[in-house]
Chains A and B, each alone.
Chain A
Amino acid sequence: MTVAENKFLREAVKQGLRMQHRFLAEPVLARTGKGYLKSEGVATLQRIKANLKKSKSA
């Protein structure tokens, strides 16, 4: 495995663990044709927009 591939693996695992609570373990999409993903809500986007606004006005 190259250095870049190894770095990607670490980052993807981190990303996956961060959002793991939004997924079901079992293969829902394969069985039903409709996937499952718990909503993240709008809090993150609101925070990003507020930060952008703040940095623009500063």
Chain B
Amino acid sequence: MAALVKNWLQIVPWETVVSINAKLCEARKALHKPTSDGYAPAKELWEKSRPRKLTLTEVFQIGFQCHRLAPFCNYNGNTFVAIIKTLLDDNLKDLPADKAHVLRSIAGHIVAGTATDIERKQLDAILAAFGK
């Protein structure tokens, strides 16, 4: 798997995050609107992290934190899980398909806030195999 430490979020400006949420809300006729308390801190965290070189674990944590801050009224989880999984898709081409699926799945669970301790350990094992 190609470089695990890189500026993963460079390709995703905040405007893209907003557009993704708008499209997902539109599909379900849900309200797409920024929240008064979560939007500004989530945007700040995202934009501050964008130029940084990050490990995969850090990328997942930023996705989780932004999800938790809830910058939008609806579909925050859907938005950030979709972003993290899409970022992974481009970088998992060298992994065996089953390992790539497991990694994508654990990443989704971490960002969604549903990951178990067993999954976290499994993630550590997968990343260790790739030299973190």
Residues of A at the B interface (CB closer than 8 Å) are: 1, 4-5, 8-9, 11-13, 15-17, 19-20, 23-30, 33-37, 40, 44-45, 48-49, 51-52
Contact = CB atoms under 8 A, between A and B. Distances in A.
Given A12-B20, A12-B83, A36-B112, A5 B102 contact: no
Interface of B: 11-13, 15-16, 19-20, 23-25, 27-28, 30, 35, 38, 67-70, 72-79, 81-83, 85-86, 89, 96-98, 101-102, 105, 108-109, 112-114
A13 to B, nearest CB: 5
A9 B108 CA distance: 18
Given A12-B82, A15-B86, A25-B75, 4 more contacts: A16-B20, A33-B113, A37-B109, A48-B101
Contacts of B70: 27, 29-30
Q: Is the interface of B mostly helix, strand, loop or mixed?
A: helix
B97 A8 contact: no
Nearest to B75: A25
Q: Is the interface of A mostly helix, strand, loop or mixed?
A: helix
A13 B69 CA distance: 21
B77 A15 contact: no
A23 B114 contact: no
A27 B66 CA distance: 11
Contacts of B15: 1
Contact of B86 (A4, A8, A45): A8
A13 B82 contact: yes
